[in-house]
Amino acid sequence: MNADPEWHSYDLTDDHTVVGDVLVSEELDPDSPKLPARRVSAYLPPSYRGSDADYPVLYMHDGQNLFDERTSNDGEWRVDETMQRLSEEGIEAIVVAVPHGTDNRRNEYTPHEHEKFGGGDADAYLDFLVSELKPAIDREFRTRTDRDSTGLMGSSLGGLVSLYGYFEQAQTFGFAGVMSPAFWWNREIFDYVDARTYFSGKLYFDVGGDERPDDPERTREYVEDAERMVELLRENGYDEDELRFVVDDEAVHHEDAWADRLPDALRFLLSDR
């Protein structure tokens, strides 16, 4: 990857829905042959330009769905609007939106191969975040580089890779947001987490009570798997100050639901950061 990519202001022509200070990188070509090139976006807090402060950094997956309706697959998370509002509460962070490679999502976000659907390149993706992207972000922006100030967040398979990354790259990531995690893809994740050393940090989990309205069995799996993982983490030492679990009874598997739950999730993850 080009070590110090150039950044430019977000394209605010046409029907964008971006608010605040968002920058876009030039195209980044990861070193791994398993990962295609992509551009990433960075949201800067309202106070950033007028201060010399350093900020925590949240790396979010499915970056094309976070800021702008026009680039999203099926709606946006409204991360920029949420961060603008949270800044009024004194909660600020740099948010790095990392889109998945074209047609490569299931590979990048899954730590183990599924016997039917494939995947299994999460290690390459996480190595890109830690070894290539994070150093470039830390050089370009005023960041807090320590583990406690660096986190991951995503939904569905993005939730799966966020939890996996929290443990697999524990020297880098000290908090993670795990929304509607698709643990059904890789049930090996339960044994993997159970075998990990306890690492202090913050973990936010949630799940919708109606994730897949057309598939009650899959909905049951989402809810029961989330409950199972949270109980496992509690048994392994994560207390209420480190672990938050929310069941949104009527919520489906969609960006609107994750956007609705995002403010409280970020309040939990970013407080004291």
Supply the DSSP string of 7-59, one letter for each residue.
EEE----SS----SEEEEEPPB--SSTTS--B--EEEE-TTSTT----B-EEE
> Does residue 229 contact residue 182 with C-beta atoms inside 8 Å?
no
Distances (CA, A) of 163 to 93, 123, 141, 153, 156: 20, 13, 25, 9, 11
Q: Please, what is the average pLDDT of the chain? A: 96
14 pLDDT more than 90: no
For the chain, the structural domain boundaries read: 7-270
Contacts of 240 (CB under 8 A, 6+ apart): none
Strand order in the sheet with 150-155: 7-9, 21-25, 41-44, 94-97, 57-60, 150-155, 175-179, 202-208, 243-248
| pLDDT over 90, % of the chain | 92
Residues 165-174 have pLDDT tens digits of 999 999 999 9
- CA–centroid distance for 17 within its chain: 20
> Predicted confidence band at 2 (pLDDT cuts at 50, 70, 90)?
confident
CB-neighbour burial class of residue 217 (10 A; exposed 0-12, middle 13-18, buried 19+): exposed
156: alpha, beta or left, given left = phi > 0 and alpha = psi -120 to 50?
Answer: left
Question: Looking at per-residue confidence, does 202 or 273 come out higher?
Answer: 202
> Predicted confidence band at 3 (pLDDT cuts at 50, 70, 90)?
confident
What's the predicted TM-score (pTM) here?
Answer: 0.97
Residues 184-197 have pLDDT tens digits of 998 999 999 999 99
**Fold (CATH) for 7-270:** Rossmann fold (3.40.50)
| pLDDT over 70, % of the chain | 100
